Amino acid sequence: MRPFWEDWKRPIRSKLKQGKAFLRGYPFYYARIQDPEQSDRYGYLWSEFSSPIPDRGTPEIRANRLWNLQLAAERIHGLQLAPRAIFSFCDRVGEPTLKNGFRAAPVFVRGKVLTDVGGGLCLVATNLFNTFLQAGCEVLERHCHSIDAYGDNRFYPLGQDAAVAYGYKDLVIRNISQTPLQLRFEVLGDRGEVISSLWGEQPRSQQTKIESRIIQELPPENADDLSGWIVETTRSIQRTVDPFTEWEVNYQAVSHYKPCERS
C-alpha cells in the first residue's frame, strides 16, 4: 500500500521533473512517430539485447507483470529516432496507473521488494538501456536500482540496469548519429523473454566496448542477506570507417546498490 502522502507528493514531483526537462529542451526533440510498418526502411541491425522475464510471484503477479510488459511494448515498438531525436521512457510509456491500463506487480522501493501498479517496467527500461548503450547513443539520464534484489540471478550485468519511476526517475537517450534509427521491442511470453533492438537506415560506423567493474562490496548486516555494491561502468567507442579512430571512453557512470534482504 502506497503511503497517503504520495497522492499529493507524486503530482508535484512530476511537475518539477517536467519543468527540468523543458529547461533542458528535451521535449522539443522527443521521438513521436511510431510506425512498425516502416521496418523495411531500417535494414541494418545496430544492437540487440534480450532479457528473461522473471518467473517469480503468484500466478496473478506473473500475469500482471506480463500484461505491463506488453502494454509498454505497444507504446515503444516501431518508434523512429531521427538524428538528434530523444527517447524518454516516461514520455513514451506514460504514468503507470490503473486508469492508464497498468496492473500491480513487483517493484523496488526504498530498498525493498513491494507490489505496486506498473511493476515490471524496470525490466523494459533495463533491456532498452543495454540496447541503446551498445548502439553508442548518448545517455542523458539513467538511474540504477536501489538494491541488487536478484543477486547472482540478475538478468542484466551489474551496473547496467535502469530504474524508472514516473515523475522521479527516467531513462532518457539521444540519437547522436547522423543515421535515422528505429526501435523495436518484443515481448515473447511463450519463451519468457523480452527483446529490444535498434535498426538503422545505414550500417553502423563504430563499435562499442562496455565494461563494468566492482569498486566495492557492501556487506549486509545478516549473513543470509544480499550484499550491496558500488560499480563503475564505462563505454568506449571506436570508429570503424574512414577516418578510423582509437578507442575512446564516451560514457561513464557509478552505480550504488544497498545491501538488502533476500526476496
| 14-18, 60-64, 238-242, 257-261: segment of lowest average pLDDT | 14-18
Exposure b/e, 95-116, CB count within 10 A at least 16 = b: ebeeeeebbbbbbbeeeebeeb
- The grid cell for 84 is 538528434
**Which residues neighbour 116 within 8 Å (Cβ) at sequence distance 6 or greater?**
2, 104, 105, 107, 109
* Residue 65 within any structural domain of the chain: yes
* Residue 261 within any structural domain of the chain: no
Rounded to two decimals, what is the model's pTM? 0.92
* Residue 68 within any structural domain of the chain: yes
* pLDDT of 125 over the 80 cut: yes
| Number of structural domains found in the chain | 1
Maximum C-alpha span of the chain? 59
* Residue 211 within any structural domain of the chain: no
* Residue 189 within any structural domain of the chain: yes
Question: Residue 13: its pLDDT value, please?
Answer: 78
Question: Residue 12: its pLDDT value, please?
Answer: 79
* Residue 17 within any structural domain of the chain: yes
* pLDDT of 116 over the 70 cut: yes
* Nearest CA-CA partner of 145 in 184, 175, 171: 171
Residue 175 three-state SS: coil
Percent of the chain with pLDDT over 70: 93
Question: Residue 230: its pLDDT value, please?
Answer: 98
* Residue 80 within any structural domain of the chain: yes
Cis peptide before 243 (omega within 30 of 0): yes
What is the arithmetic mean of pLDDT over 67-82? 97
* Residue 199 within any structural domain of the chain: yes
Domain hosting 139: range is 6-204
What is the arithmetic mean of pLDDT over 109-125? 76
- The grid cell for 214 is 566492482
